[in-house]
Copies of this chain bind each other. A is one copy, B any other.
């Protein structure tokens, strides 16, 4: 195992310039000497999640991207619209590291027994700055992967698995008995189906394409509705009656989908109403927006009574809310089922330099279902 003391490593950086230009580049940083409670992880695998792309691209128009620099040290620039720039005031001229989660091997450890015990272990970690050859992190933040698990297999231990489990925990905590998920053929959506099938939870999948219906059928999903179909509203209402779902997690955000879900939930609730109430059913209907695949405005046609809620949902505040013990239980479940329930699939593995090629950005930048990339920051680099 190489000792990285005094060594350096590449790290991907994203900078928003004052003049409305996004700049992506690689920088060489010194690998720090770990403190007693810390370890150095050589990152061998880190996914490009939709949640990473917000920080990475800063809302820039990726179609304007231009490449410069050397092949092994590329620089990408792209334009950011004035409207988006307003929201970027907090990060102007800051060279920010990117990458929420990853996995790799502990190559150096601080003096504490907890850190030393991790030497040579393959671990999964969460916490930003993962698009880098090396990451210094507290030993307590490392999730040791079961023997025989590769970094690529363990790279997505946190964001998708804990989000899927968090949706189910939220459903239970808020008194719902089944749930709706949109953009449901995604890696996250497939994972959610596996959990719900295993745990016997009603899940209503909303997809936007015919072929995604087939993807979900193939893994055993029971309730699938296609929002591009002409019978969508009727199909959704019937599936809501069948599942009894009164909670939805929406990855799309913009447009009328959240409104349609609330409206169909209300119609489903009124199937069993005994008397007319001008305030609608007393059944509380909730939609949480956790993504923004459609960045446009959310439009609510308020024909769903008064017992409803819409809100943002994020993993980190959820984990803070349930507390460290409950969160650790969820993490342990993920580790123990990482090759089955929580297995992720990637379209392509790229190096840091390859991740900045325009032809790759054009593909993964679409955040399309089935087009997920894995960065291997040490691919092709000696260590």
Binding site for B on A (CB under 8 A): 54-55, 86-87, 90-91, 94, 96, 253-254, 259, 270, 273, 275-279, 282, 289-290, 292, 295, 297-303, 305-314, 317
Contact B308 A311 (CB under 8 A): yes
Given the known inter-chain contacts A55-B278, A276-B91, please indicate yes or no for A299 contacting B302, CB distance below 8 A.
no
Chain B residues within an 8 Å CB radius of A303: 86-87
Known: A94-B276, A290-B306. 10 other contacts (CB 8 A): A54-B279, A90-B270, A91-B276, A282-B317, A295-B302, A306-B314, A307-B317, A308-B312, A309-B310, A310-B310
Known: A297-B302, A300-B300. A311 touches B312 (CB 8 A): no
* B residues less than 8 Å from A317 (CB atoms): 282, 306-307
Which residues from B are CB-within-8-Å of A96? 276
Shortest beta-carbon distance, A145 to chain B, in Å?
Answer: 27
Tell which of A54, A273, A295, A306 has the most Cβ of chain B within 10 Å: A306
Determine if B299 and A90 form an interchain contact, defined as CB atoms under 8 angstroms apart.
Answer: no
A-B contact pairs, 25 of them (CB 8 A): A86-B303, A87-B303, A90-B276, A91-B278, A94-B276, A96-B276, A254-B302, A259-B297, A279-B314, A295-B302, A297-B299, A297-B300, A297-B301, A299-B299, A306-B313, A306-B317, A307-B314, A307-B317, A308-B311, A309-B310, A309-B311, A309-B312, A310-B310, A310-B311, A311-B311
Closest Cβ of chain B to A178, distance in Å, is 20
Q: How far is the CA of A130 from the CA of B350 in the complex (A)?
A: 72
Report the minimum CB–CB distance from A245 to chain B (whole Å): 18
A254 to B94, CA, bound (A): 39
Closest to A256 in B: B297
| Separation of A312 and B302 alpha carbons in the complex (Å) | 10
- Say how far A217's CB is from chain B's closest CB, in angstroms: 32
Closest to A289 in B: B302
Sort A-B residue pairs by CB-CB distance and give the 7 closest, nearest first.
A306-B312, A90-B276, A309-B311, A91-B276, A298-B300, A306-B314, A54-B278
Q: How far is the CB of A260 from chain B (nearest CB, A)?
A: 12
* Bound complex: CA A181 to CA B86 (Å): 27
Min C-beta distance of A57 to chain B, whole Å: 10
A312→B305 contact, CB < 8 A: yes
A126 to chain B, nearest CB (A): 15
A54 nearest CB neighbor, chain B only: B278
Q: Which of B90, B299, B301 contacts A277 (CB 8 A)?
A: B90
- Cβ of A300 to closest chain B Cβ, rounded Å: 4
Contact in complex: A253, B298 (CB < 8 Å): no
Bound together, the chains give a CA A295 to CA B303 distance in angstroms of: 10
Closest Cβ–Cβ distance, residue A83 to chain B (whole Å): 9
Alpha-carbon distance A91/B244, docked complex (angstroms):
24
Cβ–Cβ contact A312 & B301, under 8 A: no
Contact A298 B306 (CB under 8 A): no
**Bound CA span A96–B278, Å:** 11
CA distance A129 to B290 in the complex (A): 44
Q: What is the CB-to-nearest-CB distance from A14 to chain B, in angstroms, rounded to a whole number? A: 10
Residues from chain B with Cβ under 8 Å of A292 in the complex: 302
Q: How far is the CB of A263 from chain B (nearest CB, A)?
A: 10
Residues of B contacting A307 in the complex (Cβ-Cβ under 8 angstroms): 312, 314, 317
Max chain B Cβ within 10 angstroms of own Cβ: one of A253, A292, A309: A309
Residues of B within 8 A of A279 (CB): 54, 314
Q: In whole angstroms, what is the CA distance A276 to B88 when docked? A: 9
Which B residue's beta carbon lies closest to that of A258? B300
Q: How many Å from the CB of A227 to the closest CB on chain B?
A: 18
Q: How far is the CA of A182 from the CA of B87 in the complex (A)?
A: 26
User: Residue of B at shortest CB range from A304?
Assistant: B312
